[in-house]
Structure 1
Amino acid sequence: MTTLRIGYESYWMLSAASGPYPPLPPDSVTEVDAVVVGGGITGLSTAWELARAGRSVAVLEADRIAGGVTGHTAGKLSALHGFVYAPIRDTHGPDAARLYARSQRDAVEHAARIAEQLGVDCELERRPAYTFVESPDHADEMRDEADAAREAGLDATYVTGTGLPFAVHGAVRLPDQIQFHPRKYLLALAADLRRRGGVVYERTRVVGLDQGEPCRVTTENGAVVVARDVVVATHYPVFDRALMFSRLSPRRELVIAATVPESADPGGMYLTPERNTRSVHTAPYPFRPGHRLLVVTGEKFAPGTDGIGSVNARYERLAAWLHERFPQAHLVHRWATQDNDTTDLVPYIGRFHPAAHHTYVAAGFGGWGMSTGILAGRLLAAHITDARLPAWAGLYDPVRLHPRETPALLRRQTDVAKHFVAGRLSPSYVDSPDEILPGTGAIVRIGGRRCAVHRTAEGEIRALSARCTHLGCLVRFNDAEGAWECPCHGSRFDVDGSVLQGPATRPLESRDDLSG
């Protein structure tokens, strides 16, 4: 049997290798009907739907397909999204809650049909999904959510017993949801996309968008793709044509995975908002017979807002909870994922801005990117092919602005302003690079400029500009993942300055001269 390399990396990435796709040749010009920017679940789903409809399509991915947020997700497909149906009902009305439920439920079933149609071995398993609470303080809220989900058309029930090895005070249960291997699913989708005539380019970062007729997309190596339609599916939009930077709040979430005996499988997918979120489900684990992989997610935080050592502390809290609740668990992996919340709980999927005719966007999935990415692919393809739009299209329209959204939007802008100003007024985190320990990083003022300084495990110093190349906020170091993060809009950079995650498209500038 193959031996899986154990480490602090995503299990989905380690257990589903893929041959590389080529980059777009420098200074080349490619013409297609549609170009999709981003090769995650939204981008690949959209491209596949378009190719199936007979359109020529190109996917441009800055790194590796199914390897960014999608490759680091928890791997759940469900229409039960924690506490969401009661808030949507109260904010947008009961019809909106019904449309949300219908769209998410249809996405789950659409994925199952695709997997069966393509014969994808993506370890798809049907399981009930639960949202639960342990404290009686949230019992009324839980009952209200169960009522709202049921009124929205889901087969949801309120229960007090689950398959978890500890007592819960109450839970919403939704049967027949899906847990699967997201990367295996998407790699099969990409392979079928190519069979249908689509093209996929990796290591091809898009830096420019001209919304003319036709549209033109430009990459960092000077290549150009000309297309009638453009879809921006980069998780956080790399272009701000609809003021989405003011309406999206990035958040990071930690994931740990452990082996447990098959007898310890709780038999479902579980989520509680308590303790800063705890999510639990299992997956097949062929590397240890008689065991399954228990995937635990939680400890949400805004990128770039934790102090030195605190992200590692979050991992420790998550692991302590795992071992307390599942004593037989043996930790084998850890990773992290990221998503964005909208100001009114509903994702943005559709026209990029009010004047857009051929540019589209999908963003703000609120931690539920698997089902939402699949429904986004169907919706965006319908827009582009002039097919009949589903009844729920208007719910997700990015151009909307609900009056009740205003307070959340103002809070978001206040938070960004605080990060932007505080980063310039507060003192440097350390006074000298000599204070930085191996494997860590900190902001240091050198020659009147704040620098992002990292010391490698071997003791080598690397200095970069501390100013995010997106809109200029000062980055901070994530000790657990060895990355620089922007607290304003969630851009992430490697210790060499290269972009790990947008919306930034340019690397942090080097500051080789530490003497200033």
Structure 2
Amino acid sequence: MRGSGGSYWMESAPPPEARAPLEGDLVADVVVVGAGVVGLCTARELTRAGRDVVVLEAGRIAAGMSGRTIGTLTSLHGLRYADLSRRRGAEAAALYADAQEDALRQAVSLCAELGVDAELERRPAYAYTRDEAGVAEIRAEAAAAAEAGLRATAVTETDLPYPVAAAVRVEDQLQFHPRRLLLAVADDVVAHGGRVHEGTRVTGLREGAECRLALEGGATVHARDVVLATQFPLRCHRTLLMRLSVRRELVVAAAVDERHAPYGMYWTPDDDTRSVRTAPLGGGRRLLIVAGEAFEPGSGGVRERHARLEAWARGHLPGFAEAPRVHRWAAQDVHTVDGLPYVGHEHPDTQHVHVATGFGGWGLGNGIAAGRLLTAHVTGAPRPPWTELFDPRRLLPVREVPEVVRRQTTVARDYVAGRRSGRRCTHMGCELGFDDADQTWECPCHGSRFAADGTVLQGPATRPLED
């Protein structure tokens, strides 16, 4: 393989000096578990609303999935609007679009207010197909997105270096450097009285008149409200657990001459899904970023998947093949049965434990929107119009029950297999698979990840692997 690196966002915005872990007991108004886009945006709004907020992060700030996205913030989420309009009606699609557009506005406002150079660029976003059989679907998406309030049109011309059969184009979307923005948000949380602790893993949560969180080192944190911003929730009620699944997606990136760099942001369901965007490097160069090859955690063959994705980039995008160095990394996303996020009360009987999950690959915009919604839940402020659309307690449509059954059958299979094997997840006992690229053990059921030595890298697992 050519010279390679990991996540470009992590390398180009390395972690600042570590914030001290929490080693003693603590009392706060609100505890936010997780310091990615959801956790930090929620904490920022809560501190500005006058709440005493503590953020607990098991690793480093914005070093999990928020540091491994491709950095696009767009209201065009694949072919979401036609499907949403068909299943829930045009009003639901309009509410979803409203949430995404609000997130775009918030991102621009954050960069300006915090004075951070997050390489914010306004670019059009496209969803396209090269297959004539997919043209009708693309045109239906353009019509549904326009009806939902987006500046969407159906086109046949793009600035990609190959022809397309049809595309949806949405104007004035955003691409940016996610870590630069989130590190600035973390500083702002502290500047407004919040406390942020890295290297602090939460291992348990008990809800009551006062919530109690147990920490790995033995300390206890008491709070009135808890926000679980850990991608897959640390604690997950059975009514929510059965509706979630996890997928991983690979990313490759390389520097190219800016003359070869596509201007827009692109997504296609073709070729096992591909996403393309660029980022500024200076000196007449741009970073060409390509994502795709989605797969179930632990299913193996990751090196081969990376090779396929890189081969696609070399074959379709001028300049990629000549780059001396390729960045390779992976992102992980939680998906819901109905394609809509879960943001709000964790289950029907709780008032003080809140979750944000199920962004399905579109975590930056949905994460920013979640911060506003979760803050409204905690403070009692007026809630945004998309509150019910994202409510984790929403009823599951009858037609989506078969998908839930299918997913639970898969989980049961992995759980039973785990009973027979020696390497199983410490969360719920599912059989683990090995990632030969990252050299990690991964759980296909709920997405926990472990280092080769058994150390927990990503929850919901909180205990290391047993020998």
Question: Which runs of structure 2 are paired with 1:64-213 in the superposition (5 Å)?
Answer: 64-213=60-209
Partners of 1:277 and 1:99 lie apart in 2 by: 26
Partners of 2:442 and 2:5 lie apart in 1 by: 19
Residue 463 (structure 2) aligned to one of 506, 510, 516: 506
Q: Specify the SS of the correspondent of 1:114.
A: helix
Q: CA deviation at 1:416?
A: 1.1
1:229 aligned residue: 225
User: Contact (CA 8 Å) 2:337, 2:403: kept in 1 or not?
Assistant: yes
Q: For residue 314 of structure 1, what is the amino acid of its counterpart?
A: R
The answer to whether residue 272 in structure 2 is matched with residue 276 in structure 1 is yes
Q: CA deviation at 1:424?
A: 5.3
1:442-500 superposed Cα distances (whole Å, 9 cap, x missing partner): xxxxxxxx44xxxxxxxxxxxxxx01101101111111110011122111100010111
The answer to whether residue 252 in structure 2 is matched with residue 256 in structure 1 is yes
Q: Specify the SS of the correspondent of 2:294.
A: strand
1:260-298 superposed Cα distances (whole Å, 9 cap, x missing partner): 101112101000011111000000114xx2110001000
Distance change in 2, residues 1:242/1:398 (3 Å): farther
Question: Which runs of structure 2 are paired with 1:326-475 in the superposition (5 Å)?
Answer: 326-329=317-320, 330=323, 331-403=325-397, 404-423=399-418, 450-451=421-422, 466-475=423-432
Q: Specify the SS of the correspondent of 1:285.
A: strand
Q: Specify the SS of the correspondent of 1:111.
A: helix
Q: CA deviation at 1:410?
A: 1.1
1:437 aligned residue: none
Q: CA deviation at 1:21?
A: 3.6
Which segments of 5 or more consecutive residues in structure 2 lack a partner in the other structure? Answer: none
Q: For residue 295 of structure 1, what is the amino acid of its counterpart?
A: I
Partners of 2:4 and 2:196 lie apart in 1 by: 29
1:482 aligned residue: 439
Partners of 2:444 and 2:10 lie apart in 1 by: 26
User: Contact (CA 8 Å) 2:27, 2:222: kept in 1 or not?
Assistant: yes
Q: Specify the SS of the correspondent of 1:365.
A: coil
Residue 9 (structure 2) aligned to one of 9, 12, 18: 12
Q: CA deviation at 1:423?
A: 4.9
2:308 aligned residue: 317
Partners of 2:105 and 2:303 lie apart in 1 by: 38
Q: Specify the SS of the correspondent of 1:109.
A: helix
Q: CA deviation at 1:89?
A: 1.0
Q: For residue 60 of structure 2, what is the amino acid of its counterpart?
A: R
Partners of 1:410 and 1:112 lie apart in 2 by: 41
Q: Percent identity?
A: 54
User: Contact (CA 8 Å) 2:257, 2:286: kept in 1 or not?
Assistant: yes
2:32 aligned residue: 36
Q: Specify the SS of the correspondent of 2:19.
A: coil
1:74-123 superposed Cα distances (whole Å, 9 cap, x missing partner): 10000000011111111111111110011111111111111111111110
User: Contact (CA 8 Å) 1:21, 1:200: kept in 2 or not?
Assistant: no
Partners of 2:400 and 2:196 lie apart in 1 by: 37
User: Contact (CA 8 Å) 2:15, 2:60: kept in 1 or not?
Assistant: no
Partners of 1:24 and 1:293 lie apart in 2 by: 35
Q: CA deviation at 1:242?
A: 4.9
Q: CA deviation at 1:135?
A: 0.5
1:3 aligned residue: none
Partners of 1:31 and 1:285 lie apart in 2 by: 44
Partners of 1:244 and 1:301 lie apart in 2 by: 22
User: Contact (CA 8 Å) 2:240, 2:347: kept in 1 or not?
Assistant: no
Q: Specify the SS of the correspondent of 2:4.
A: coil
Q: For residue 16 of structure 2, what is the amino acid of its counterpart?
A: G
Q: CA deviation at 1:407?
A: 1.7
Q: CA deviation at 1:243?
A: 3.0
Partners of 1:172 and 1:327 lie apart in 2 by: 23
- Which segment is superposed worse, 398-407 or 158-167? 398-407
Partners of 1:496 and 1:423 lie apart in 2 by: 18
Q: Specify the SS of the correspondent of 1:243.
A: helix
Residue 491 (structure 1) aligned to one of 434, 448, 452: 448
Partners of 1:66 and 1:420 lie apart in 2 by: 31
Partners of 2:134 and 2:276 lie apart in 1 by: 19
User: What is the root-mean-square deviation of aligned Cα atoms in Å?
Assistant: 1.2
Q: CA deviation at 1:327?
A: 3.0
Partners of 1:414 and 1:408 lie apart in 2 by: 10
Q: For residue 63 of structure 1, what is the amino acid of its counterpart?
A: G
Asked which structure has the greater CA Rg, the reply is 1
TM-score, scaled relative to structure 2: 0.97
Q: CA deviation at 1:20?
A: 3.4
Q: CA deviation at 1:422?
A: 4.2
Q: CA deviation at 1:210?
A: 1.4
User: Contact (CA 8 Å) 1:24, 1:223: kept in 2 or not?
Assistant: no
Q: For residue 80 of structure 1, what is the amino acid of its counterpart?
A: L
Which segments of 5 or more consecutive residues in structure 1 lack a partner in the other structure? Answer: 1-5, 426-449, 452-465, 511-516
